[in-house]
Amino acid sequence: MKKIVLSIFAVMVMGMLMTGCGASYEGNSNKVKKTVCDIARQEFAKYLTDEALSKITLRVKNIRTDKIDKDTKKSYNSADLEVINAGTNKTDVIPITYTAQITDEGVYVEVRGLR
């Protein structure tokens, strides 16, 4: 019985080690997509009023992984940023590129193409 419990524990530990600590640098992870939207919202806040900004919903769509550098744990991605304006019922699509990389503090994301 002790051997079975230790074997199960060893398999669980190996699984955790193989998948990392939960941080993901993949461009399609929910954390990365949310961070891309947060960065876009901060950029748009420079040009829009608070009222206009509150009517906008952002979504990252059509994600394409261009490259993954496993040594630096960094992914290079292309995507479409969907900007949905509830005030005008208009949807715009902005082509963007972004990188995501694991750091000691979490995931670092850089976005290009917002202007």
Predicted confidence (pLDDT) per residue in 57-92, tens digit = 999 999 999 999 999 999 999 999 999 999 899 999
The hierarchical CATH code for the domain 24-112 is 3.10.450
4-46 pLDDT per residue, tens: 433 343 334 343 333 444 456 788 899 999 999 999 999 999 9
pLDDT score at 18: 39
Pair of tokens at residue 93: 């699509």
The model carries a pTM of: 0.77
Contact between 93 and 82 (Cβ < 8 Å): yes
Mean pLDDT, range 93-113, rounded to an integer: 95
Per-domain residue ranges for the chain? Answer: 24-112
- CA nearest to 60, candidates 33, 30, 90: 33
Question: How far, in Å, CA of 58 to CA of 37, rounded?
Answer: 6
Are 99 and 26 in contact, with CB atoms under 8 Å apart? Answer: no
Q: Residue 59: helix, strand or coil by DSSP?
A: strand
CA distance 113 to 101: 18
